[in-house]
């Protein structure tokens, strides 16, 4: 899609929040993890450790990036707790913050007029350029991520948001805009981008037992 040379990296979406469960537009609001989200983050840590062991990657050699929003920052911290070695510090990068929905944030998907926004499953490729009042469009996020890509000089772990993962699939894999805009990015899973392709791994669903 671009001239950016994307290295291998691991990506996790933050765990569930109450607003995710209620299907509210969350965006740049700093909404914390709920208990399910905390357990998803814990399970993702075990999964990441297993993936690194499988790939022969030393976790101390990685760079660790997270969105500064608390739901992503806590997910990263809980994932790192699965390792029994001292890891490099987490870098909280504002370019990884979720797409802003502006004045729609806090409102339910179901209560939004179609002229104001479309929920996933109802979007076409043109929605990439849709910007709600006071918010961003997906192209804005793409430009942030292309800038962030300059930081990806080695194997990296990134914890951020669903909208960020949608855009990464488009930028790295070349997946069509309509497809990624309607794709539901999973929680309790890790995406491994290697060779400009994404492989998705699901953590053991320990949160179902809570």
Active site residues: 14, 98
Helices (H) and strands (E) in the chain, counts: 6, 6
- Give the C-alpha distances (Å, rounded to integers) separating 106 from 9, 33, 100, 148, 169: 32, 15, 11, 27, 26
- In whole angstroms, give the CA distance from residue 96 to residue 88: 19
- In whole angstroms, give the CA distance from residue 64 to residue 81: 13
- In whole angstroms, give the CA distance from residue 15 to residue 35: 9
- In whole angstroms, give the CA distance from residue 65 to residue 67: 7
- In whole angstroms, give the CA distance from residue 210 to residue 195: 37
């Amino acid at each position: 899609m671009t001239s950016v040379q994307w290295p291998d990296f691991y990506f996790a979406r933050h765990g569930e929040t109450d607003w995710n469960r209620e299907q509210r537009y969350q965006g740049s609001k700093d909404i914390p993890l709920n208990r399910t989200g905390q357990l998803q983050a814990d399970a993702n840590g075990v999964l990441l450790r297993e993936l690194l062991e499988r790939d022969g990657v030393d976790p101390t050699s990685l760079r660790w990036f997270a969105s500064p929003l608390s739901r992503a920052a806590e997910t990263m911290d809980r994932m790192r707790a699965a390792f029994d070695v001292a890891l490099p510090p987490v870098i909280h990068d504002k370019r990884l913050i979720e797409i802003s929905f502006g004045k729609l944030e806090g409102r339910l998907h179901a209560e939004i007029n179609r002229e104001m926004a479309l929920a996933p499953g109802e979007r076409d490729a043109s929605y990439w350029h849709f910007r709600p009042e006071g918010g961003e469009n997906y192209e804005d996020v793409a430009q942030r991520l292309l800038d962030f890509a300059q930081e990806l000089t080695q194997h990296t772990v990134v914890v951020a948001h669903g909208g960020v993962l949608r855009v990464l699939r488009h930028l790295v894999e070349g997946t069509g805009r309509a497809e990624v805009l309607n794709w539901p990015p999973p929680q309790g899973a890790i995406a491994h981008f290697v060779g400009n392709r994404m492989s998705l791994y699901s953590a053991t669903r320990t949160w179902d037992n809570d």
